[in-house]
Homo-oligomer: A and B are copies of this chain.
């Protein structure tokens, strides 16, 4: 039985009072935006176990790799994944410069939100639109575009900059794990070049620890200056079964902790926790709070479907964090 399973069950079955007190003290200090409960107990107990010298489950620092999905795990993915809104904004800016683009059938489908049309023929329409926004743009220009957008655009419901709409309890988990020698990585279906612009400032995660979907790039000296030009001739989708592949290609070893929120994270939860020679930990953030954020799992309007991973949570020993029950505060700006 893995540590995950053991601690999860033990936590669910109740601790001796003294131990509960000690753990709650840790939670109160390191994870103040969480309500103490089975989820935080399992997390704190896991970290204690694997970082205690002499413990049979001790994990040396270089192997303390923790991976986090981004959309829906560290920040919301509703009403649309934020990067989709960035791409829509970029597309509309491009149409203002080249009005004829509005007649392009893929552009029309995008603006109409016609996902079926975009995904037909192996996503031909979606890739055509991605190419419109990314192809021929240098990496530096793209970084500037993302910076301009994230400094000004506001979330339609919360009225805040998107990079303010991050989950305070998860920021605390990132800090808590790093304080315990873990290296924290993002492993997201979102674009690596999009996230790296702000991941260090917002999450404390440097660009080299951000794994995401990505196109290609071409190096050239332009007027004597080195530039990397983005291309979409090849695209790697870092989602579902692509996540363990992305982890292997960028990290090159199995994580021991994995945090996700949707079926898109199931494969990396499996990769992290099944028959890992190290004690492992998996957590699913369950969106249950329509009042403070969103409530969805089986029938989401857009992304973030959570059915299979939730069904497997029990048998895999994945801890389910119920946002309504477990998050004392959702966003940093909440009172």
Contact = CB atoms under 8 A, between A and B. Distances in A.
Contacts of A244: 217, 219, 226, 228
Interface stretch (A120-128, A248-256, A323-331): A248-256
A54 interface: no
Given A208-B250, A219-B267, A225-B275, 7 more contacts: A192-B252, A208-B253, A214-B249, A218-B241, A219-B243, A226-B275, A228-B248
Identical chains bound together, number: 2
10 contacts: A65-B208, A192-B249, A196-B252, A207-B252, A208-B209, A219-B244, A221-B270, A226-B274, A228-B244, A250-B250
Given A62-B200, A206-B62, A274-B225, A245 B267 contact: no
A97 interface: no
A62 B199 CA distance: 13
Interface of A: 62, 65, 139, 183, 192-193, 196, 200, 206-210, 214, 216-221, 224-226, 228, 234, 241-245, 248-253, 267, 270-271, 274-275
Nearest to A267: B219
Contacts of A242: 219
